[in-house]
Amino acid sequence: MSAIDSNISRRLTGWQKFMISFPTMPGNLSNVLIHNAFLKYYTDIVGLNPKYIGILYAIFGIWNAINDPAIGVWLDRLKYNPQRGKYVYVMRLSAPVTLVASFAMIFAQPSWDQWVIFAFMLILIFIYDTSMTTFSIAHANYKLLAAKTSEERVDVSVFTSYIANIGGFLGTVIPTLLLVGNSEKTLTTILFCAVLALNSILYLVALKPLKDAEEMYVKENVQIAGRKGIFGDVFDNVREAVKSRAFVTFVLVQILVGGPSAFYFTPFLYMSDYVLELKGIQATLMDVLMGLSLFAAAPFLGKFIKKRGMKNAMLLALIPSACGFLLLAFVQNYYQAIAAYILMYVFTQAVSIAMSPMLGAIIDEDEQRTGLRKAGMYTGLDALLTIPMSGIQASLFMGIISYFGFQAGSDVQSANALLGIKIGAGVLPCACILLGIIPLLLCPINKKKELELSEFSKNRQMELS
């Protein structure tokens, strides 16, 4: 496997775009296991009451408010080292910590007291999230330096959608087979371990060929001189960020749309198990069909985004995405559920494809305006508001099903509990997505501005190279 070509004056090849995107696969596999599959594993097999999950994710959200922007600014301040590099080196340090924390989470025991299980899960999520946030911000910043124009970033985002869904599928196929229907702890634990062992190999394959080209960081190293301490930079940069209309509107879209997009799989498991009463293989087939539908549509979605511009493409995709979620509240059978999930998933992913290059354009616009590149800070703030939104969505979903009478560990749920699952899986995310249209309409990054910023980004690395 060849290393990424470091010649920044050339356009990226398809293979380079693929390899730049590939760390998304093990990262997404880790996130799907921790934030989706493990929730149902802990409530159904370990026996943790859903209210404790809600408390855990509330604490988790507070921690994200501290560590995400701080890690982002720390990465902005970190200088490129000719021997070690920068972002790739950070990813290689973070991945093993992420894996160890993920492995440890499997071994909670049903015999433990509820508060012991809660504390065990909280500590490991704390370790996992800190290392995973570092990995994710470093990778996001690396992609924005390696792919310089909005068109290249959309192409990288399309590759990322393929890779992320393969990683997500690897993370969901075993849990779907084992957590829908009858669940057996020993077998589930063994297969979770197998998935995590595979994930270790994927991290190695993804990170080994990546290279930090010195030209990517020359201007960043010049900009670092004279900055304040980490938290001084955090406060100053956040004050500057909130003055950017592009960033504020993007944040609001992330808050309203990011949660339902990131947290669909746990409600999917509850819908499959209790509302539709599916067997594991049926739920797995539905999951596969969603992924295959996206695989077929993704190239067309990328072309559509480049043609219409990121803002207009996102606006057009949000309506069918919201409709797909809403239909989940009314499905009566397996085939209706498949249609609703495919509609929701394809158009939700269309929005996700446009999100990453949109954030890149906002970072470029800020650098154009201020003369300083603050990719880590912006990516950290983005993580601050998107990762906790998944946790907030988890808290809302768990709170709704608890309010409607869901009984953890029970194979049969009441009609009222089933209604709560439908509301949490369908009505809640639909309402959030429709509200997300309002700030998106106010976003100033249109097609004309995209082209201007692409030229700025393309030229910035060549000025001092």
Q: CATH no. for residue 330?
A: 1.20.1250.20
Q: Residue 224: pLDDT above 50?
A: yes
Task: Classify residue 322: in a domain, yes or no.
Answer: yes
The better pLDDT of the pair 219, 438 is held by: 438
Give the confidence band of 232 by pLDDT, cuts at 50, 70, 90. low
Residue 202 has pLDDT above 50, yes or no: yes
pLDDT at 5: 43
Which amino acid does the sequence have at 305? I
pLDDT at 116: 92
pLDDT at 125 over 80: yes
CA neighbor of 356 nearest in space, from 161, 178, 205? 161
Q: What does the pLDDT read at residue 334?
A: 93
pLDDT band of 6, cuts 50, 70, 90: very low
Split at pLDDT 50, 70, 90, the class of 192 is confident
Residue 187 lies in a domain: yes
The model's pTM is 0.71
* Residue 3: per-residue pLDDT: 45
Mean of pLDDT values over 54-67 = 76
Q: Which domain holds residue 61?
A: 14-230+243-460
Residues 176-185: what's their mean pLDDT?
60
Please give the tally of structural domains in the chain: 1
Is residue 235 assigned to a domain? no
Predicted confidence band of residue 340 (pLDDT cuts 50, 70, 90): very high
> What does the pLDDT read at residue 230?
53
Q: How confident is the model at residue 99 (pLDDT cuts 50, 70, 90)?
A: very high
**Average pLDDT rounded to a whole number, residues 305-314:** 92
Q: Give the type of residue at 70.
A: A
Q: What is the Cα–Cα distance from 266 to 175, expressed in whole angstroms?
A: 10
pLDDT at 317 (0 to 100): 95
Q: pLDDT at position 63, please?
A: 78
Mean of pLDDT over the chain: 83
Q: Does any domain span residue 262?
A: yes
The answer to the question of residue 95 being in a domain is: yes
Residue-level pLDDT at 120: 93
Give the whole-angstrom CA distance, residue 342 versus residue 324: 8
Query: Does the pLDDT of residue 1 top 50, yes or no?
Result: no
Residue 9 has pLDDT above 70, yes or no: no
Residue 50 lies in a domain: yes
Question: Quick one: pLDDT band at residue 80, thresholds 50, 70, 90?
Answer: confident
> Which of 16-20, 25-29, 389-393 tops mean pLDDT?
16-20
Nearest to 166 by CA among 36, 295, 57: 295
**Is a pLDDT exceeding 70 seen at residue 412?**
yes
Q: Is residue 237 part of a domain?
A: no
pLDDT for 420: 94
Average pLDDT over residues 23-40: 81
| HEC assignment per residue over the chain | CCCCCCCCCCCCCHHHHHHHHCCHHHHHHHHHHHHHHHHHHHHHHHCCCHHHHHHHHHHHHHHHHHHHHHHHHHHHHCCCECCCECHHHHHHHHHHHHHHHHHHHCCCCCCCCHHHHHHHHHHHHHHHHHHHHHHHHHHHHHHHHHCCCHHHHHHHHHHHHHHHHHHHHHHHHHHHHHHCCCCCHHHHHHHHHHHHHHHHHHHHHHHCCCCCCHHHCHHHHHHHCCCCCHHHHHHHHHHHHCCCHHHHHHHHHHHHHHHHHHCCHHHHHHHHHHHCCCCHHHHHHHHHHHHHHHHHHHHHHHHHHHHHCHHHHHHHHHHHHHHHHHHCCCCCCHHHHHHHHHHHHHHHHHHHHHHHHHHHHHHHHHHHHHCCCCHHHHHHHHHHHHHHHHHHHHHHHHHHHHHCCCCCCCCCCCHHHHHHHHHHHHHHHHHHHHHHHHHHHCCCCCHHHHHHHHHHHHHHCCCCC
Q: 177: pLDDT confidence band, cut at 50, 70 and 90? A: low
Work out the pLDDT band at 350, boundaries 50, 70, 90. Answer: very high
Does residue 236 fall inside a structural domain?
A: no
pLDDT greater than 50 at residue 461: yes
Pick from 1-15, 51-65, 274-288: least confident: 1-15
Q: pLDDT band at residue 464, thresholds of 50, 70 and 90?
A: very low
